[in-house]
Structure 1
Amino acid sequence: MNERARIPVTLPVKTPTQSHWQDPPDPEIADLRTTPDLPTHADTVIIGSGITGAAIAWNLLQASSPGSIVMLEARQACSGATGRNGGHTKAASYRSFLHHAFHHGTPTAVQIARLELSNILAVHAFAREHAIPCDLNACNTIDVIFDEAQWTQAHEAVAAMRMAMPEGDPAAEYEFYDAAEVNERFYVHDGEYAGREEKVYGGVGYFAGSLSAYAFGVGVLKLCLGKGLNLQTHTAAVGLERRGEEGGWVVKTERGEIVAKRVVLATNGYSAALVKEFQGLCVPMRGQITAHRPGMAVPMGGCLPTTYSFIYKKGYEYMVPRPAGSRFAGDIVMGGGLVRAPEDGLYEFGTTDDATLNEGISEYLKETTPRYFGPDWGEDHLDGRVRKEWTGIMGFSPDGFPFVGEMPSQKDLWVSCAFQGHGMVLCWKSASALVEMMEGRDDEELAAGFPSVFRVSEERLAKTFEGRL
C-alpha cells in the first residue's frame, strides 16, 4: 500500500468514462465559462466544481459582500466524484461507531453519527427548498449482512449508540430483521459466489435516501451563478504559488494566472496534484459502478422502496434502485466490489484514471443482481442486463476522516477533501463548517457540531496511509 500511496497524483484525465447521471451532460453549464477570458484577480478561487465546491460557493455567497468568487474545473462542471457516485445518501453510522468510540472517545463517535445524519437531512431539505430536480427519494435502507461476525457487531454497535444517546435520538434509530424477513420483505436470498455459499444472517434498516448527485450539484451551481459565481470549466489549475509580502496566492492554470486573496481546494482525490503535503495522505482510489436494467421478475418493476447494501467479509456493494418518475426508473445502480479484484483491490489505489474500467470488478458487478435476488430477479431485461458502467476517483486519508480547514503554515489556503467514498454524508456539512472558519466564525458553536478529528493539522499530516479503514 505504501508504494501505491506514493504514486504521484495527477490532474483529472481528459476523457473519463461517462456516468449514468451525466448522460447527457447538463446543456446549460457543463461547458460554461461565465466570462470568455479568465479573470486575472479574485477574492476567492475555488478549485473543483463538485458538491464540495458548490456548497462552499453557496455558503460564501450568503454574505452581504462576498467579494468575487471564481471556480475552476478541469473538465466539465460537476464531472468528478459527485457526478459519478451512486447517489446514495446513506450514513451507516453504526458500522464505524465502535471504531470511533474506541480510538477517539464516545462523545466524538456520537458527534460524527449526528453530523452524518444531519448532512443527509440538510441535503434533502436544500433540494426541496430550492426545487432542484434531482430525483430526490427520501426512504429507508437495508444492510443485508452475509457475515456472522459483522451481524454480531451490528447488534453491539447499535446497543452502544442507544446507550450513548438519549432515547429517541434519530441518529441511533435502527431496526433489525432476521434472515426470513430479509427474504420476504426485501427479496434478498442466500447466494453462491466462487463456489462458496453466501448465507444471509439478517438485515439492519434505517433512514437514508437517494438522488442524482450530479443533478443536485449542478442545481447548486446554477443557484450560485445567479448570485455572481464565475465558473470556468475546462480550466485545470496546474500550480499554486504563495505571494510574498502582498499575501494571497497565484493560481496557475492552462489558460493563464489568477491572483487570489485566498484559495479553496475542493479537489478530493486529486488534491495532492496541487498540494504536495497531501501526497500519500489524500490517496486517490478508483471506484466502479454498474447500472442494471431490472430483471423481469423484480417486484415493482425495479422501483423498490428501499436502497440496499450487501455486506460480506472484508467488503460490500451498495445498491440504489432508480425511483418511479425518474429517467430509467427501475434501473438498479450497483457500486463497490473492490475486494473482488486482485489483492483486495490494491491496484485501484493510487490511480486517477477514470477513463477505464477494472474488468475483474466489472464482471463481478454484472453478476451481483441475479445472485442477490435469485428468483426475484428472473430473466434479464429484453434489452440486456447492463445499461452502463463507469468509474470515478475518491480520496482516502490515513485515519479515515476528511481534511477540513486552513493548511498549517499556509495562510489563506483552505481545503475540504478526502471523503473516504462517503462524501454524500460528509461534504455538505464540511463545506459549511469550512466557510465558518474562513469567515472568522470558528467558535464554540461550530466546535460543538463539527468533529475536531476532521480538522487538518500538522499531526494528521504526519500520518502514514495504510489502506481504507
Structure 2
Amino acid sequence: MQERNKSMDERARIPVSLPRDNPTQSYWQDPPDAIADLRTTDELPEFADVVIIGSGITGAAVAWHLLQNEPVDAAPGVERRTAKKIVMLEARQACSGATGRNGGHTKAASYRSFSEHATSLGTPAAVKIAQLELANIQAVHAFAQAHNIDCDLNPCDTIDIIYDKSHWDHAQKTVAEMREAMPEGDPAAQYTFHTPDQVREQFHCHDSIYEGNLERVYGGVSYVAGSLSGYKLGIGVLKLCLAKGLNFQTNTPAVALRQTQPSEPHSSWEVDTPRGTITAKQVVLATNGYTAHLVPRLQGVIMPFRGQITAQRPGSAMPHSGSLPTTYSFIYEKGYEYMIPRPAGLRFAGDIVIGGGLLRLPDDGLQEYGTTDDTTLNEAVSAYLRETTPRYFGPDWGEDDPAGRVRKEWTGIMGTSVDERPLVGEMLGEEGLWMSCSFQGHGMVLCWMCAKALVDMMEGRDGDELEGWFPDAFRVTEERLSLRFSGRST
C-alpha cells in the first residue's frame, strides 16, 4: 500500500537501471531469431565513428539511415566495408526491449491528442504532429514491403470503440477541428464515425459491464492503421544493416559514458561495457525508458513505465475465427485497451493480442511507473486483461478454447517524458551525444521518422527541409530538460 501511495514525482526519482536479466518472453520472440545473440566480432572494437546504444526500432532505423550513403559493393575478394564505422551495443538479445514486446499496432489515433497539441503548441504544430504520425505508418509499411521483410505486415483499418460520452463528443469535435485545420482531403484527417448499431453489427462489440457498472457503446471511429510484428521488423532492419557493415554486439550493456576533453570543439566519447571500452566520435541513445541510467541528468525527465500484454486464443463464436479485418481500441472514461487480431494465414491465426489496463489498477497504475522490471507480471493486470475479450465481444466471443483462453502474456518497459512527447536531438552542452527516446508507448508511429530526423541533424541537414516536416516540439531543449514529474498519473 505504501508503494501504491507514492506520488508520481517520487516514482520518477527511483534510479533507472539497466535492462534486467531473464525478462518475460514475448509472443513475438518465441523462438528468438538466429541473430538474437550475435556478435559481429569476437572482440569489442576499440573505436567507432558512431556507437548506437539499443537495438530496437529506433536503433535499427538510425543505423539504416546512417548507412544510406555508404558504399555497399566491393571488388571481388575485397571485404565489404562502410566509410563510417558504426557499432551497435545491446544489453540483452537483439531487439529484446519494447520493440520486441509491443502489440504490433501501427496506429496513430491522432485525433485523440490533436486538441491538446493545438492548445499547448499551436494548431500548425498539432497538424505537423498528426501528419508525421501518418507518414511514419506509411514509411514503415512501405519499407517492409520494399525490402521483403517478413514481419506479418497487415495494412488495414482500425476501429476505436468508445464507451464514454465525453470521449465520444471529444472525438467528433476534434475530427472537425482537424478537417478545418488541414488541407482538404488530407489523409491525416480522414475518419469515419459509426453508430452503436454499426459497432455491434459490423465490429461485434457490445455494451460492457465492469465492476457492476454499465459501460455503454456510444459509437466507433475508424481510420487507416495496420499491424505487424515489431520484433520481426526490427530484426529485419538489423539484418539489412549488417549486410551494409554494421558491427553488432549483443549482450553487451553500456554501463557508463564519459566525454573526453569536453571543452574542445571535437571531443569524443568513451563508452564503458563489461567487455571493455569503445571510443566514438558520436553516441546515439536509442534507449527509451532506460536512458537515465546512462545520462543522470535525464533522471526524472524520461521515466520508465511497464506495460503488459496477453495473446488469447479466440472464442468459439468469434467471427472470421478471430481473424477480424480491423484492429481495435476500447476507450473508456479513464483509459483504453488496444487489440490486434492475428490475420489468417499467419502463425496462430485468429489469436487476439490485447494490452493496456493500466488505469484500471489502484492509484491509476502508479506502481507501474519508475520500474524497469520486465521479468515479472502484474497479477492484477493479468486478471483484468484475461476477462476483457468476453466482456467486450459478449455473445460474439462464445466458449473459450479447450486449450485455455490465454496463450502467452508478458511485460515490457516503455519511456515517458513529462510533456508526453519524444526527445530527439543532441544533448545540450554535450557535443556528439545524440538521442531519440521517450515514445510514451507510441513508438511504432513515431520511431522511424524520429530516427530519420535525428540522422539529418547528425549529418548537418538540419535546415528548412527538416523544419518542414519535423515538429520543433520533439526537439531537445533546455526548457524540456528542466521539466519534472509531479502529482499523480492520469
Q: TM-score range by the shorter chain?
A: over 0.9
Aligned partners of 2:460, 2:286: CA distance in 1, in Å?
20
SS at match of 1:220: helix
- Confirm whether residue 140 of structure 1 aligns to residue 140 of structure 2: no
Match of 1:114 in 2: 131
Match of 1:60 in 2: 66
What is the CA distance between 1:166 and its match in structure 2? Answer: 1.5
- Unpaired segments of 5 or more residues in structure 1? none
Aligned partners of 1:415, 1:465: CA distance in 2, in Å?
20
Q: Residues 165-180 of structure 1 correspond to what in structure 2 (within 5 A)? A: 165-180=182-197
Q: 1:417 aligns with which of 437, 454, 465?
A: 437
TM-score with structure 2 setting the length: 0.95
- Confirm whether residue 380 of structure 1 aligns to residue 387 of structure 2: no
Q: 2:172 aligns with which of 151, 155, 162?
A: 155
- Confirm whether residue 395 of structure 1 aligns to residue 415 of structure 2: yes
- Confirm whether residue 274 of structure 1 aligns to residue 294 of structure 2: yes
Residues 400 and 468, structure 1, Cα contact 8 Å, conserved in 2: no
Aligned CA-pair RMSD: 0.9
Residues 396 and 468, structure 1, Cα contact 8 Å, conserved in 2: no
Match of 1:227 in 2: 244
TM-score with structure 1 setting the length: 0.99
Q: 1:8 aligns with which of 6, 15, 24?
A: 15
What is the CA distance between 1:468 and its match in structure 2? Answer: 5.9
SS at match of 1:171: helix
Aligned partners of 2:83, 2:26: CA distance in 1, in Å?
34
Do the aligned partners of residues 66 and 176 (structure 1) sit closer, same or farther apart at CA in structure 2, a change above 3 Å counting?
A: farther
- Confirm whether residue 202 of structure 1 aligns to residue 209 of structure 2: no
Match of 2:25 in 1: 18
Match of 2:41 in 1: 35
Which residue identity lines up with residue 14 of structure 1 in the other structure?
Answer: D
Which residue identity lines up with residue 108 of structure 2 in the other structure?
Answer: A
What is the CA distance between 1:465 and its match in structure 2? Answer: 1.8
Q: Residues 69-468 of structure 1 correspond to what in structure 2 (within 5 A)? A: 69-244=86-261, 245=264, 247-466=267-486
SS at match of 1:25: coil
Residues 60 and 66, structure 1, Cα contact 8 Å, conserved in 2: no
Aligned partners of 2:345, 2:299: CA distance in 1, in Å?
43
Q: 2:53 aligns with which of 47, 54, 62?
A: 47
Do the aligned partners of residues 394 and 14 (structure 1) sit closer, same or farther apart at CA in structure 2, a change above 3 Å counting?
A: same
Aligned partners of 1:37, 1:465: CA distance in 2, in Å?
41
Q: Once structures 1 and 2 are overlaid, which stretch shifts more, 203-212 or 241-250?
A: 241-250
Aligned partners of 2:156, 2:14: CA distance in 1, in Å?
40
Aligned partners of 1:195, 1:382: CA distance in 2, in Å?
28
Aligned partners of 2:444, 2:481: CA distance in 1, in Å?
24
Residues 7 and 350, structure 1, Cα contact 8 Å, conserved in 2: yes
What is the CA distance between 1:367 and its match in structure 2? Answer: 0.1
What is the CA distance between 1:88 and its match in structure 2? Answer: 0.1
Residues 300 and 484, structure 2, Cα contact 8 Å, conserved in 1: yes
- Unpaired segments of 5 or more residues in structure 2? 1-7, 71-81
Aligned partners of 1:134, 1:420: CA distance in 2, in Å?
23
Taking only the aligned residue pairs, the percentage that are identical comes to 68
| 1:367-424 superposed Cα distances (whole Å, 9 cap, x missing partner) | 0000000010000011110000000000000111000000000000000000010000
Do the aligned partners of residues 57 and 16 (structure 1) sit closer, same or farther apart at CA in structure 2, a change above 3 Å counting?
A: same
Runs in 1 of length 4+ with deviation above 3 angstroms?
466-469
Residues 340 and 360, structure 1, Cα contact 8 Å, conserved in 2: no
Which residue identity lines up with residue 331 of structure 1 in the other structure?
Answer: D
Aligned partners of 2:53, 2:390: CA distance in 1, in Å?
41
Aligned partners of 1:293, 1:31: CA distance in 2, in Å?
30
Aligned partners of 1:389, 1:233: CA distance in 2, in Å?
25
Match of 2:74 in 1: none
Aligned partners of 1:238, 1:396: CA distance in 2, in Å?
21
Aligned partners of 2:280, 2:183: CA distance in 1, in Å?
46
SS at match of 2:60: helix
Figure out how many residues of one structure are paired with residues of the other and give that number.
468
What is the CA distance between 1:282 and its match in structure 2? Answer: 0.5
